């Protein structure tokens, strides 16, 4: 069984600063994928970034980067140059070989002006 742990219920960040959201995972599956999603108050799930377990380089998508440390089973999301529109809930998720997603509890990010 897969388990995703997000230990930060809420984070505050100043506008234009960077913020790191923690995510650790546990799986016995050798092949898996790690995802980060953003969920604003509207409820939609917005795909941010994906990292495959065999990918050698850390994934980046614009202001989002994933700090993947396979040996430590961590997949932290870094949001650089935070904007007010980044205020939302962020979920880390893992997908195993059956393509089912397991989600962490989420981290609420509030960006302050």
Partner 1 sequence: SAVISQKPSRDICQRGTSLTIQCQVDSQVTMMFWYRQQPGQSLTLIATANQGSEATYESGFVIDKFPISRPNLTFSTLTVSNMSPEDSSIYLCSAVTFGTSFEQYFGPGTRLTVT
Which residues of the shown chain bind partner 1 in the complex (CB under 8 A)? 33, 35, 37, 42-45, 47, 50, 52, 91, 93, 95, 99-106
Place of tokens 């917005």: 46
For residues 94 and 102, what is the distance between their CA atoms, to the nearest angstrom?
Answer: 5
Comparing CB distances to partner 1, the nearer of 9 and 85 is: 9
Q: How far is the CB of 61 from partner 1 (least distance, A)?
A: 10
Yes or no: say if 77 and 19 are a contact pair by the CB < 8 Å rule: no
Q: How far is the CB of 15 from partner 1 (least distance, A)?
A: 26
Parallel/antiparallel/unpaired status of strands 10-14 and 107-112:
parallel
Q: How far is the CB of 106 from partner 1 (least distance, A)?
A: 6
Comparing CB distances to partner 1, the nearer of 50 and 64 is: 50
Q: How far is the CB of 42 from partner 1 (least distance, A)?
A: 8
Other residues' Cβ atoms within 10 Å of the Cβ of residue 109: 21
* Nearest residue to 74 (alpha-carbon basis) of 89, 60, 53, 56: 53
Comparing CB distances to partner 1, the nearer of 3 and 16 is: 3
Comparing CB distances to partner 1, the nearer of 17 and 29 is: 29
For residues 3 and 18, what is the distance between their CA atoms, to the nearest angstrom?
Answer: 27
């Amino acid at each position: 069984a897969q388990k995703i742990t997000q230990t930060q219920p809420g984070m505050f960040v100043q506008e234009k600063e960077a913020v790191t959201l923690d995510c650790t995972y546990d799986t016995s599956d050798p092949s898996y994928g790690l995802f980060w999603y953003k969920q604003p108050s509207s409820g939609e799930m917005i795909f941010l970034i994906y990292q495959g377990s065999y990918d050698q380089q850390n994934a980046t998508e614009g202001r989002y980067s994933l700090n993947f440390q396979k040996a430590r089973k961590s997949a932290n999301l870094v949001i650089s140059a935070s904007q007010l529109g980044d205020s939302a809930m962020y979920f880390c998720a893992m997908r195993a070989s059956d393509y089912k997603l397991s989600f962490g509890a989420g981290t609420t990010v509030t960006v302050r002006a």
